[in-house]
Amino acid sequence: MTDCASCVVRNRAICASLDAEELALLGKLGRNHRVNAGQTLMWEGDDAPVVANVLDGVLKLVLAAAEGREQIVGIVFPSDFIGRPFGKESPYSVTAMTDAEICIFNRKSFDDFANAHPDLQHKLLRRTLDELDRARHWMMLLGRKSAEEKVASFLLEMSERLSGQGCGGGPQSGFELPFGRQQIADILGLTIETTSRQLTRMRAEGLLDLPSRREIVINDRAAMEAIAG
pLDDT tens figures, 95-104: 998 899 999 9
Helix, strand, or coil (residue 94): strand
Query: What are the pLDDT digits (tens) for 4-56?
Result: 777 888 778 888 778 888 888 888 898 999 999 999 999 998 888 899 999 99
Higher pLDDT, 11 or 154: 154
Residue 120: partners with Cβ closer than 8 Å, 6 or more residues away: 14, 15, 17, 18, 113, 114
Query: What are the pLDDT digits (tens) for 54-65?
Result: 999 999 998 887
CA atoms of 79 and 81, how far apart (whole Å): 7
- 210 phi and psi, to 5 degrees? -125, 80
Residue 124: partners with Cβ closer than 8 Å, 6 or more residues away: 14, 81, 85, 114
Q: What is the mean pLDDT of residues 160-173?
A: 62
| CB-CB contact of 22 with 28 (8 Å) | no
CA 178 from chain centre, in angstroms, equals: 11
Does an H or E element contain 221, and which? helix 221-228
Count Cβ atoms within 10 A of the Cβ of residue 97 and give its class: 0-12 exposed, 13-18 middle, 19 or more buried.
Answer: buried
| CB-CB contact of 56 with 101 (8 Å) | yes
Least confident of 4-8, 47-51, 123-127, 150-154: 4-8
Q: What is the mean pLDDT of residues 84-109?
A: 90
Instruction: Look at residue 223 in the predicted model and tell me its pLDDT.
Output: 95
CA 65 from chain centre, in angstroms, equals: 21
| CB-CB contact of 22 with 121 (8 Å) | no
Instruction: Look at residue 2 in the predicted model and tell me its pLDDT.
Output: 57
Instruction: Look at residue 168 in the predicted model and tell me its pLDDT.
Output: 46
pLDDT confidence tier of residue 221, bands split at 50, 70 and 90: very high
